[in-house]
Amino acid sequence: MRRLVGAMMLVLVASGIVRAQDMALTGVLIDGEGWQLVAEGFKFTEGPAVDGDGRVYFTDIPNSRIHRVELDGKVSVFADNSQRTNGLMFGPDGKLYGCQMGTKRVVAFDSQGQATTVAEGIDCNDLVVNSRGGIYVTEPPRNRVWYISPPPAREKRIVAEGFRPNGVILWADEATLVVTDSDAPHLWTFRVEQDGRLTCKERYYHPLQLPSGRDKPGSDGMTVDAQGRLYVATAAGLQMFDPTGRLGGTILKPQIGPLSNACFGGPKLDTLYVTAGDKVFRRRTQATGVRYGARK
């Protein structure tokens, strides 16, 4: 038996499978730390985003509200009547940008929760804001990705199409954009050009794990950490990939049902938050997140 195990290990090493575990979940999770309930009683939570102090914001889409999680864990309403806002992210100006599904607008919320229009006519779902204030927005119903240029121009143009985009995130260096496709067994990556164009489209981060009885991963929102790992919310759980696109493991879901999104929060960005149906959960990790435009 020992010889058989040794021979199998040689095959695994030769094929690269063992090397694919170089960035395993043991480098992310903390022994004894599990998911903790942050809040419940919502209809459908989405769009977690972190501000410069580490507070986390999330949406309850059917109820048209945006909530804020304070550093002490208390949850309050940040914006009411948010027009079914979905994806959220803070920009370099300190404003909270959101995909207002009810009005097909990309908007910016000020510190009082008041929204102003950034772009119109986009059936938007999720977004990511770069350090210059440029915004990438997914539009699943029309199978395309938009780019909204930094202020003051705020010109919008289609930069990718031909697949069903959902979640979107930038690598920490902002040179690579990652987009999920809920029906595909992989994620899409693009090289970000200086003018915001997307080139070099590639299938990356694959294969995504499938839950029992399903033939599609249901990949949705994403976040990245300072070490270059990517975390994608799927029907199977929160799947973690290393920078080369290899699966390092899947963090089990805190409850039955798919996850919709994730982000790192807290003063040190070492707490992982996930939106999961009618609830929001968090857990402390060894990893630290990336703040993008909301840097202190």
* Residue 153 CB partners (closer than 8 Å, separation 6+): none
Cis, peptide link before residue 207, omega less than 30° from 0 = yes
21 vs 100 pLDDT, higher one = 100
- Arithmetic mean of pLDDT over the chain: 91
Residue 144 located in a structural domain: yes
- Has residue 18 been placed in a domain? no
Show the domain range for 168.
Answer: 23-294
Percent of the chain predicted with pLDDT > 70: 91
Which pLDDT does position 16 carry in this prediction?
A: 35
Token pair of 249 as six digits = 């493991």
> Does 14 fall in a domain?
no
Phi, psi of 167 (to 5 degrees): -80, 160
CB 124 within 8 A of CB 131: no
Q: Is residue 10 in some structural domain?
A: no
* Mean local confidence (pLDDT), 18-44: 86
Confidence of residue 183 (pLDDT cuts 50, 70, 90): confident
Higher pLDDT among residues 19 and 131, named by residue? 131
Other beta carbons less than 10 A from residue 89's beta carbon: 27
Task: Please give the residue that has the higher pLDDT: either 211 or 194.
Answer: 194
| Percent with pLDDT over 90 in the chain | 87
Mean pLDDT for the stretch of residues 179-193: 95
For residue 8, the model assigns a pLDDT of 30
pLDDT score for 22? 64
Structurally, how many domains does the chain consist of?
1
Q: Give me the CATH number covering residue 218.
A: 2.120.10.30
Taking only the tens place, the pLDDT of each residue in 139-171 is 999 999 999 999 999 999 999 999 999 999 999
At 207, list the tokens: 């294969």
Give the DSSP letter of residue 209.
Answer: P
Interval 256-277: pLDDT, tens: 988 999 999 999 999 999 999 9
Length of the chain, in residues? 296
pLDDT digits (tens, 9 = 90+) for 98-138: 999 999 999 999 999 999 999 999 999 999 999 999 999 99
Q: Is residue 136 part of a domain?
A: yes
Can you tell me the distance from the alpha carbon of 210 to that of 258, in angstroms, rounded to the nearest whole number? 12
Residue 170: inside a domain: yes
30 domain residue, yes or no: yes
pTM attached to this predicted model = 0.91
**pLDDT at residue 97 greater than cutoff 90:** yes
Q: Answer whether residue 156 is part of any domain.
A: yes
Distance between CA atoms of 103 and 100, rounded to whole angstroms? Answer: 6
